[in-house]
Amino acid sequence: MRWPWRRGPQARREAALREAAPGPLRDYLSVPFPDGDLPLAELPLLALDLETTGLDVRRDRVLSAGFVPVDGLRIDLAGARHLVVRDEGGVGQSATVHRLTDDVVAAGEPLEDVVAQVLRALRGRALLAHFARIEVGFLDAVCRSRWGAGLPCVVVDTLELERRAHANPWGPPVDVAGGLRLFRARERRGLPQYTAHHALVDALACGELYLAQAADLLAASPTTSPTLRHVVA
């Protein structure tokens, strides 16, 4: 059964557009999302990673964002950005994960400006992330508090694509905590290992993993062209 694309993400975009205050969110929502029938070779995405003080959207804070455009089957390094959020609340123990110190984040940009830059880069693209609910959840919370509407978006989640690729209905449950982690998925596919928990590095690592996953989908469908519908979360 084909996903009723018009009544799905595009309808959510139009509904949010009616609610959003003028500003970066409204500008983002004014651009239609990629069509569900767009072939992977033409699909515009934005690989995104956020580093935060924790995983609870209600309590934790965004400390940095990294993103890089993925145009079809090519990563556009010229569009890569790493942004640090100004934060005076203290990073606490989370610094042992992302290595962002209080001094570094004190010199960052306001959260609203960082999210505005992310939204500008995301216009007309699908959001690409590994375990994307983290990125979507934090961005949605900021958009609601700053501009009065949530963040509808088309999401491609490399964790979900990896789960599908290695699903075994006759075997034990998939090890989400281990085997599907970004570095494990890259290792399984022979991709180089990078230092984890730097927002831009992780965004690039996610983009590279997606290209490997897309190549597998294309190889498995030599007579038909996989589309956005085949990879959307």
Q: What pLDDT is recorded for position 214?
A: 96
**How far is CA 197 from each of CA 30, 109, 200, rounded to the nearest angstrom?**
32, 19, 9
What is the value of pTM for the model shown?
0.91
Amino acid 2: pLDDT: 47
CA distances from 194 to 66, 84, 158, 204, 206 (A): 15, 20, 17, 10, 11
Query: Residue 28: its pLDDT value, please?
Result: 98
Question: In which element (H, E) is residue 63 found?
Answer: strand 62-71
| pLDDT on residue 171 | 52
Domains, the chain, with CATH or none: 5-231 (3.30.420.10)
Distance CA 33, CA 179 (A): 31
Residues of the chain with pLDDT under 70: 1-7, 95-96, 168-178
Confidence at residue 92, expressed as pLDDT on a 0 to 100 scale: 72
Which residues is 45 bridged to in the sheet?
A: 70, 126
pLDDT of residue 7: 62
CB atoms within 10 A of CB 43: 24
